[in-house]
A and B are shown apart, each in its own frame.
Chain A
Amino acid sequence: MRPLGKAASDDDRPLIERVRKGDQDAVRALYERYFDRIYNYVYARLGRAEDAEDLAIDTMTRSLTRLDLFQDQGVAFSSWVYRIAHNATIDHYRRQGKVSLVSLEHAPALESADPSELAIEQLSNQDLHTAIRELTDEQQQVLILRFFQDLTAAQVASIMGKTVGAVQALQHRALGSLERALQGRAVN
């Protein structure tokens, strides 16, 4: 797996202060730090390069021009940026008229498919991405942030406004749902 660059962290504060003072180098540094990650996040959610590009740029523009709205009170800048990206994704879904997805977490496993027979190693990246996009919004979010973005449960909890325990439980359910979605694809 190629690294996505510097992991999102709390050491953005000095750069944010410089941006507030009009320092363009600091703007560039934050842009470089987050653009790839946000692009990756949005692409994983939408599956279309053009849309991902537009939403990533939109997210970075909003983040860096509306720093006056960012109050550094317990929430890291990285969490704030991911929240903007998430909201932009939801807005995009609404504009496209996409209906909300049905949760698979309570869907029964297909009788014809034995979970133990699911050849995980043989799954393509495309299979995984497509199956993830069949999950609920929160399940997609937690899997993408935890495994594609390589964030800790605490960081994901901050982004999603949940406790670490709730994120871990959500992650467990999301993986179960993903497994069932993959089984369904295998049967079809």
Chain B
Amino acid sequence: MTPEVERLERLAERLRAVDPYMPPPGAKIRGWNLVLAAVEQSTRARSRVHPVRRLVLATVAAAVLLVVGAVAASADSLPDSVFYPLKGVLENARGALTFGASDQLAYHLELASTRLSEAQAMFARHRVDLADQALSALDDQLNDAALIIQAEKETDPAVGAAMENRLRQAISTHDAQLAGLQGQVTNPTAVSAIMQARERAAQALQTAAKPANGKGNASASPSGSGQGNGAANSPHPTPKH
């Protein structure tokens, strides 16, 4: 140990021996009274804030429940429901997040089935106008599916053919359901709407069978366009509501 370290050690020991300054008893009591008063005031202030916090939390919870409830209610809503527009928004959002030809095809076929179910429900409620709109939307979905298949055939003919087969099966199922529905309704407008829907579904199938450059089966579409409606011009159009 060097002389300097020895000296500093002795100094440190001397410091340790210094008596601590102790507060006078009166100071400690006065301090406690002040601290206690401050703590009580702080507790009261916190409890005053609580009702406001509770109100905010309740409002936020109610808003979240409202949104969740509306979303849940819209999932099975029908065209005559106030939640139906929300259903369209959610479907569009889902469509925007669907990638790959196969998944997009599944997405459009699912929506086509949904539109058909909605049309059936609207016919049952004698809402022919809304049923007609649902059938029109059904055709849009089928046309969108047909265009996706067309494009896929250019990239991979084998995959495109498999997708075309899926569309054919779906349309076949839809057509059977529409035929049954046609036999049940008596309203001439309703009958006409169903017949048009069946015809447009057949056109969609023919569109899917054509090559994308239009050099294939030109007789498939009676209207000659073979491209579905305006909404279907995009390779991934949004569903119509």
Contact = CB atoms under 8 A, between A and B. Distances in A.
B11 interface: yes
Given A120-B10, A179-B7, 18 more contacts: A2-B22, A4-B20, A36-B20, A39-B21, A39-B23, A52-B21, A52-B23, A53-B30, A60-B35, A61-B38, A65-B35, A65-B38, A115-B4, A120-B7, A120-B14, A128-B15, A175-B12, A179-B8
Interface residues of B, number: 31
Contacts, number: 105
Interface of B: 3-4, 7-8, 10-12, 14-24, 27-28, 30-32, 34-36, 38-39, 41-43
A44 interface: yes
Nearest to B15: A147
Interface residues of A, number: 43
Interface stretch (A21-29, A70-78, A98-106, A157-165): A21-29
B interface, by DSSP: helix, strand, loop or mixed?
helix
Contacts of A128: 14-15, 18
Contacts of B11: 120, 175, 178-179
Contacts of B19: 1-2, 125
Contacts of B28: 35-36
A56 B42 CA distance: 19
A1 B8 contact: no
A175 B21 CA distance: 21
Interface in A24-43: 24, 27-28, 31, 35-36, 39-40, 43
A55 B88 CA distance: 66
Contacts of A4: 20
B42 A65 contact: yes
Contacts of A53: 23-24, 27, 30-31
Instruction: Give 6 closest A-B pairs by Cβ, nearest first.
Output: A147-B15, A57-B31, A43-B21, A65-B42, A39-B23, A175-B8
A150 interface: yes
A121 B18 CA distance: 11
Given A22-B43, A148-B18, A27 B12 contact: no
A36 B22 contact: yes
Contacts of B34: 57, 61
A56 B31 contact: yes
11 contacts: A27-B35, A27-B36, A39-B23, A49-B24, A61-B38, A116-B7, A118-B7, A120-B11, A146-B12, A172-B8, A175-B11
